[in-house]
Amino acid sequence: MPTHPAASLPVPPSAASRAPDNMKGIALITLGFVFFGATDAMAKLLTTELPALQVVWMRQIGLFMGVLVMLGMRGLHLMRTRHPVIQIGRGVLATCSAAFFILTIQHVPLADATAVTFIAPFIVTAIAGLFLKEPVGWRRWAAVAVGFAGMLIVIRPGMGVFHPAIFMAVAAATAFASRQLLSRMLSGDDTIATTVAYTSITSTLILTLPIAFVWEAPGASWIWFVAPLMALCAGVGEIFMIRALDVAQAVVVAPMQYSMILWSTLYGFILFADLPDLWTLLGCAVIVASGLYTLNRERIAARKAKQRARAEAANAAEAAARTEEI
């Protein structure tokens, strides 16, 4: 699913202790999004023959296999966490996000669905400002408003091109945004690998429970090739993403999530002869520009917060030194 995983994962506690290799990280996460785009395209193709929930399960199996490989290489200690409830809750939201997105692309072109899911950062900002009482300046509120305007340009309700399934993409973005907020609570405590492992295992278990009630035996022979390939691409994309966030700064690689629109358009054209129209491209450009601006404002806010924390620590140390002198 193209809901920019890079921005939704906690920064590993050890990230600050080593020099980042940002160029390598950009290359790795770009490859990850190439594979995620291919995964989404094959998922859309499979929904023409199989129930959407079965396709979601097949996709998550690929992520699950990738996690099993990671656990085999790094050990079961990756499952240690001080926040098991939050980790499981994040997995539930990840399941909802993936399911809603695949239900969307069953009826809507890939590029359109992908563009709508890019509103997730704006939903995060809105929730943080309205319900979590985080300080959000007028610039970020303006970016949120412009981003939602871009979404309306893409879906164009009342103009004859609107499909009700697009609301599933909005639901997917909302679930993903909620998942991002939980990721903030995990930041600094659990590693990226731990979070991905819990998310994958939780979502696989949830989807396995009802699969017997919707399962349909694949009829067309090509499904036996495409379904495993989709699962493989999902697992490989996850591995590339984890590695990218291990070697690079998240704030640097996060903007690469918007490259998904390129891969979605390319795969959509190759497999379904779908090309986004001018209005979709315009709306997507508005959303991406607003999203990049929001990411930049968040980077500036984080930098200022660190500067204030350092200044407060220095003042406290100076006050303690004066007290000792007295």
pLDDT digits (tens, 9 = 90+) for 28-62: 989 999 999 999 999 999 999 999 999 999 999 88
Average pLDDT of every residue of the chain: 84
- Identify the band that residue 158 occupies on the pLDDT scale cut at 50, 70 and 90: low
d(CA 306, CA 229) in angstroms, rounded, equals 44
For residue 5, the model assigns a pLDDT of 43
| Residue 130: both structure tokens together | 């309205």
Q: Is residue 24's pLDDT more than 50?
A: yes
Compute the C-alpha angle 307/29/176, nearest 5°: 75
d(CA 258, CA 292) in angstroms, rounded, equals 9
Nearest to 270 by CA among 37, 48, 103, 2: 37
pLDDT winner (highest mean) among 234-243, 247-256, 269-278: 269-278
Q: Is residue 70's pLDDT more than 80?
A: yes
For residue 53, the model assigns a pLDDT of 94
Q: Do residues 129 and 139 touch, judged by C-beta distance below 8 A?
A: no
Q: Do residues 126 and 144 touch, judged by C-beta distance below 8 A?
A: yes
Between 112 and 161, residue with greater pLDDT: 112
d(CA 172, CA 96) in angstroms, rounded, equals 7
**pTM for the predicted model, two decimal places:** 0.81
pLDDT digits (tens, 9 = 90+) for 274-284: 888 888 899 99
Question: At which residue do the structure tokens 């590993």 appear?
Answer: 12
Domain count within the chain? 1
Cα separation of the two ends of the chain: 61
Buried b (16+ CB within 10 A) or exposed e, 171-187: bbbbbbbbbbbbbeebe
Q: State whether residue 308 is helix, strand or coil.
A: helix
For residue 9, the model assigns a pLDDT of 54
CA 126: distance to chain centroid? 17
| Residue 21: both structure tokens together | 């290799």
- For the chain, give the percent of residues with pLDDT over 70: 90
d(CA 126, CA 134) in angstroms, rounded, equals 10
Q: Is the dihedral of CA 252, 257, 258, 262 positive or negative?
A: positive
- List of E strands, the chain: none
For residue 18, the model assigns a pLDDT of 58
Structural domain for 152, as ranges:
5-325
Average pLDDT over residues 1-11: 48
Q: Is residue 225's pLDDT more than 70?
A: yes
302 burial class (0-12, 13-18, 19+ CB within 10 angstroms)? exposed
Compute the C-alpha angle 41/47/53, nearest 5°: 110
d(CA 100, CA 6) in angstroms, rounded, equals 19
Q: Do residues 90 and 201 touch, judged by C-beta distance below 8 A?
A: no
DSSP letters of 76-137? GGGG--S-HHHHHHHHHHHHHHHHHHHHHHTTS-HHHHHHHHTTHHHHHHHHHHHTS-----
Which one-letter DSSP state was computed for residue 51?
Answer: -
Average pLDDT over residues 172-182: 88
d(CA 140, CA 137) in angstroms, rounded, equals 6
Q: Which of 111-120, 164-173, 177-186 has the lowest average pLDDT?
A: 177-186
- Identify the band that residue 139 occupies on the pLDDT scale cut at 50, 70 and 90: confident
